[in-house]
A and B are shown apart, each in its own frame.
Chain A
Amino acid sequence: MSNKRKWKDGFLQGITYLASFFSIAALLMIIGFVFLNGFKLLNWDLITHNYVAVSHIADLKDGAEVGVYEATKTLGDDVYYSSKWGLGLRDDINIQGKTVVVVDYVHPDSPFVMLNDKGVGEADLSLSIDYEIIRIAFENTSSALSVYGSEAMIDILDSQDTFRELEYATTGGGIRGSIITTLYLIALTLVMALPIGIGSAIYLNEYAPNNRLTRLIRSLIETLTGIPSIIYGLMGLAVFVPLTIRLTDATGGNIISGAMTLSVILLPIVIRTTEESLKVVPDDYRYASLALGASKTQTTFKVILPNAFSGILTATILAIGRIIGESAALVFAIGTAIKDEVSLTDKSTSLAVHIWAMMTDEPANIELSTTIAIIILMIVLILNISVKFLSRKMTKRFGAHA
Chain B
Amino acid sequence: MTTIESNIIFDIKDLNLYYGDKIALKQINLAIHEKEVTALIGPSGCGKSTFLRTLNRMNDLIPSCKIDGDVHYSDENIYRNGMDIIGLRKRVGMVFQKPNPFPMSIYDNITYGPKCQGIKDKKELKEIVESSLKQAALWDEVKDRLKESALSLSGGQQQRLCIARTIAMKPEVILMDEPTSALDPVATAKIEDLVIELKKQYTIIIVTHNMQQAARISDKTAFFLLGEIIEYGDTSHIFSTPDHKKTEEYITGRFG
A contact residues vs B (CB 8 Å cutoff): 209-210, 282, 284-285, 287-295, 298, 302-303, 307, 398-401
Q: Shortest Cβ distance from A376 into chain B, in angstroms?
A: 36
Contact check, B102 vs A285: say whether CB atoms are below 8 A apart.
yes
Given A292-B169, A293-B90, CB of A398 within 8 Å of CB of B100: no
Number of A-B contacts (CB under 8 A): 74
Q: Measured between alpha carbons, how far is A382 from B93 in the docked complex, in Å?
A: 47
Contact residue among B98, B100, B116 (Cβ-Cβ distance under 8 Å from A293): B116
Given A399-B151, A400-B151, CB of A291 within 8 Å of CB of B56: yes
Contact check, B149 vs A291: say whether CB atoms are below 8 A apart.
no
Q: Is B87 an interface residue (CB 8 A)?
A: yes
> Which residue of chain B is the closest to A284 with respect to CB atoms?
B100
Given A288-B96, A302-B112, CB of A293 within 8 Å of CB of B102: no
Identify 30 residue pairs between A and B in the complex whose beta-carbon atoms are under 8 Å apart, listed by A's number: A284-B100, A285-B103, A287-B100, A288-B100, A288-B165, A289-B102, A289-B112, A290-B58, A291-B56, A291-B89, A291-B94, A291-B96, A292-B112, A292-B113, A292-B165, A293-B88, A294-B116, A295-B86, A295-B116, A302-B112, A303-B102, A307-B103, A398-B104, A398-B149, A399-B103, A399-B104, A399-B149, A399-B152, A400-B103, A400-B151
Q: Is B117 an interface residue (CB 8 A)?
A: yes
Contact check, A287 vs B116: say whether CB atoms are below 8 A apart.
no
Q: Shortest Cβ distance from A90 into chain B, in angstroms?
A: 60
Q: Shortest Cβ distance from B95 into chain A, in angstroms?
A: 8
12 extra interface residue pairs, beta carbon distance < 8 Å, beyond A282-B100, A288-B101: A284-B100, A287-B96, A288-B100, A288-B162, A291-B58, A291-B166, A292-B93, A292-B165, A293-B86, A302-B112, A399-B149, A399-B150
Contact check, B102 vs A288: say whether CB atoms are below 8 A apart.
yes
Q: Measured between alpha carbons, how far is A337 from B58 in the docked complex, in Å?
A: 60
Number of interface residues of B (CB under 8 A): 30
- Chain B residues 163-177 with CB under 8 Å of chain A are 165-166, 169
Please give, as numbers and ranges, the residues of chain B lying within 8 Å of A293 by CB-CB distance.
86-90, 113, 116-117, 169
Q: Is B61 an interface residue (CB 8 A)?
A: yes
Please give, as numbers and ranges, the residues of chain A lying within 8 Å of B150 by CB-CB distance.
399
Q: Measured between alpha carbons, how far is A292 from B102 in the docked complex, in Å?
A: 12
B contact residues vs A (CB 8 Å cutoff): 56, 58, 61, 63, 86-90, 93-94, 96, 98, 100-104, 112-113, 116-117, 149-152, 162, 165-166, 169
> Which residue of chain B is the closest to A287 with respect to CB atoms?
B96
Please give, as numbers and ranges, the residues of chain A lying within 8 Å of B96 by CB-CB distance.
284, 287-288, 291
Q: Shortest Cβ distance from B23 into chain A, in angstroms?
A: 23
Q: Measured between alpha carbons, how far is A298 from B101 in the docked complex, in Å?
A: 16
State the 9 A-B residue pairs at the shortest beta-carbon distance, nearest first: A399-B149, A293-B90, A284-B100, A291-B94, A292-B113, A293-B89, A294-B116, A399-B151, A398-B103
Q: Shortest Cβ distance from A285 into chain B, in angstroms?
A: 6
Q: Shortest Cβ distance from B229 into chain A, in angstroms?
A: 24
Please give, as numbers and ranges, the residues of chain B lying within 8 Å of A291 by CB-CB distance.
56, 58, 89, 93-94, 96, 166
Q: Shortest Cβ distance from B97 into chain A, in angstroms?
A: 10
Contact residue among B61, B87, B104, B166 (Cβ-Cβ distance under 8 Å from A290): B61
Q: Measured between alpha carbons, how far is A291 from B167 in the docked complex, in Å?
A: 12
Please give, as numbers and ranges, the residues of chain A lying within 8 Å of B117 by CB-CB distance.
293
Please give, as numbers and ranges, the residues of chain B lying within 8 Å of A298 by CB-CB distance.
116
Q: Measured between alpha carbons, how far is A399 from B109 in the docked complex, in Å?
A: 13
> Which residue of chain A is the closest to B94 with respect to CB atoms?
A291
Q: Measured between alpha carbons, how far is A359 from B156 in the docked complex, in Å?
A: 66
